[in-house]
Amino acid sequence: MMRQLAISAALLVLAGCRNSQASIDPLEQTGPKPVLPEPTEGLIAAVGVPQVVGWKQGETPTVPSGFRIEAMATGLSNPRTVYPLPNGDILVVEGKRVGSEPVDRPKDPVRRFIMSLAHGGGGAKSSGPAAGPPQRITLLRDANGDGKVELKSILVDHLNSPFGIAVVGNELYVANTDAVLRYPFTSGQTAISSPPQRVVELPGGLIDHHWTKSLTASPDGSKLYAGVGSNSNVQERGPEAETNRAAVWEIDPRTGAYRVFASGLRNPNGLTFYPGSNTLWTVVNERDEIGPNLVPDYMTSVRPGGFYGWPYSYYGQHVDKRVRPQRPDLVAKAIPPDYALSSHVAALGLAFYTGSSFPAGFRGGAFVGEHGSWNRTAYNGYRVVFIRFAGGRPVGKPMNFVVGFIGPDGKARGRPVGVAVDRTGALIIADDVGNTVWRVSYSGDAKAR
């Protein structure tokens, strides 16, 4: 805490008095019309990265009264995505970035060091095995739905920075950072020994700035959708590095043919179809370094052929003057997103509530896993929020649903990433630096929302 305070204080002094954005309440930046201040660039980008200390025995995040949260599995290795199956098994994708970005300018090694602090490096303790990254899918079996795992096995190993997965029929699709793979898989299996087939290559490469490739299948299983994040913050690595990136791809799983389904989405994750519809939704991490309150991350429906602004503009027609040459023609057709989540929360997970064990007010609403901020001195995110939906559209303000990932001492015990709803209607959460999969169930007693 002291070290982090000292670093922040020094940076603030150097940055000078420029923080006219300081007084914005994050809630004013949620919903369809967020408050968007003027961009400010100080001498040094604001950085606030909590030290990672992991969960102590018995320590858990906090949920509203009437709910309970327990650790389903601990000692995992950077779990990022959770995928519950109809038979009660839960697939957990454990993956990390391999290698670091090539150095383009002196800023890069500095930035890399700061990011490593945020992900539990730099001497911080974590509650799981520390060593170099497993790149695998672990299967958790909880046959009787009581939240206790009877069996834990490695389903698939030796992947390449996997993130998104989808099961369609008797096939498991895995989105590595550089390709979508297909494995034969039947419900009940605990390990896959067959080699995969490569469906299609995804943009990876040496830089691979936003390496997570989210994946989902259309409701009828005929198409796959992959989220491909940008290769830079605001195209500062040049437009050549961004070919087919900052986009959602639509992939034919049989032929591997693909097209860019929607573009201008800086880092789209949590791809999910709204239950009972053909509308694809995503959560997007917007750009950095123009102030602690710009640009709010968002959740949005994805229109086929839609362009959402990156890198030239955000929230429709707000031009980012850092990008040259400018493209006023693209800015003019940029679609503003549906629902802002406030700035730098790093929304990575999205799941619509399809269960029936939570109070009725949760039905059809969205849970968003907010990994947490680095580009602010006052932390934002580091929680799971809930947003009510009515008529297939988000309404109202987000509600903090799972908090306590940062303790009262300002240190991070964990950071939520992917969220999903299991067959008992419990909410499953992947906590990467806490190396834990959490399960939130409703035990009654509180009045329904």
Partner 1 sequence: MARRTIPPISIVRHPIYNMLLPVPVVCFIAALLTDWTYLASNGNRQWVNFSTWLLAAGLVFGAVSILVLMVDLIRGVAANRGLGWATFLLLLAAWIVEFINSLVHARDGWTAVAGAGLVLSIVGALLIAIAGWLSRDALELVP
DSSP per position, 147-189:
S--SEEEEEE-S-SS--EEEEETTEEEEE-SSEEEEEE--TT-
Least distance to partner 1, CB of residue 16, Å: 10
Out of 6, 13, 43, 378, the only residue in the binding site for partner 1 (CB under 8 A) is: 43
Distances (CA, A) of 94 to 17, 157, 210, 437: 42, 10, 17, 11
Query: CA–CA separation, 420 vs 81, rounded Å?
Result: 9
The answer to the question of residue 234 lying near partner 1 (CB under 8 A) is yes
DSSP state of 360: G
Say which amino acid occupies 258. Answer: Y
For the bound state, the minimum distance from the C-beta of residue 296 to partner 1, rounded and expressed in Å, comes to: 18
The contact pattern for partner 1, residues 245-284, with x = CB under 8 A and - = no contact, is ----------------------------------------
Beta carbon nearer to partner 1, 14 or 191: 14
Rounded distance, CA 1 to CA 125, Å?
14
Choose between 238 and 304: whose C-beta lies nearer to partner 1. 238
Q: Which of 322, 363, 423, 449 binds partner 1 (CB under 8 A)?
A: 322
Query: Is residue 233 involved in binding partner 1 (CB under 8 A)?
Result: yes
R_g of the chain computed on alpha carbons: 21
Bond from prior residue into 32 cis (ω within 30 degrees of 0) = no
x/- mask, partner 1, residues 105-144, rule CB under 8 A, reads xxx-------------------------------------
Residue span binding partner 1 (CB under 8 A) among the ranges 37-45, 135-143, 390-398, 406-414: 37-45
CA gap 376, 192 in Å, rounded: 43
Strands 247-251 and 258-263, sheet pairing: antiparallel
Nearer to partner 1, 46 or 215 (CB): 46
Instruction: Please state the closest distance from residue 212 (CB atom) to partner 1, in A.
Output: 20
> Least distance to partner 1 from the beta carbon of 47, Å?
12
- 81/443 Cα distance (integer angstroms): 25
For tokens 């939704």, the residue is 281
- Helix then strand then coil, in percent of the chain rounded to 5, is 10, 35, 55
Q: Single out the residue of 12, 22, 44, 403 in contact with partner 1 (rule: CB under 8 A).
A: 44
| Residue 236 interacts with partner 1 (CB under 8 A): yes or no | yes
Among the candidate windows 256-264, 270-278, 302-310, 321-329, which touches partner 1 by CB under 8 A? 321-329
| Binding region for partner 1 (CB under 8 A) out of 102-110, 295-303, 328-336, 418-426 | 102-110
In what helix (H) or strand (E) does residue 79 lie, and over which residues does it extend? Answer: strand 79-84
Q: Which stretch binds partner 1 (CB under 8 A): 24-32, 48-56, 199-207, 318-326?
A: 318-326
Q: What are the helix and strand counts (H, E) for the chain?
A: 3, 27
Interactions with partner 1, residue window 323-352 (CB under 8 A): 323-325
Q: Under rule CB under 8 A, how many of the chain's residues touch partner 1?
A: 22
Among 104, 146, 157, 201, binds partner 1 (CB under 8 A): 104
Min dist. Cβ of residue 103 to partner 1 (A): 10
Task: Provide, rounded to whole angstroms, the least separation between the CB of residue 198 and partner 1.
Answer: 33
Q: Determine if 70 is a binding residue for partner 1 (CB under 8 A).
A: no
In sign, the C-alpha dihedral spanning 253, 250, 381, 412 is positive
Whether a cis peptide bond, with omega within 30° of 0, leads into 203 is no
Nearest CB to partner 1, comparing residues 110 and 446: 110
The CB density around residue 60, as the number of other CB atoms within 10 Å, is 18
Residues that bind partner 1 (CB under 8 A): 14, 41, 43-44, 104-107, 232-238, 289, 320-325
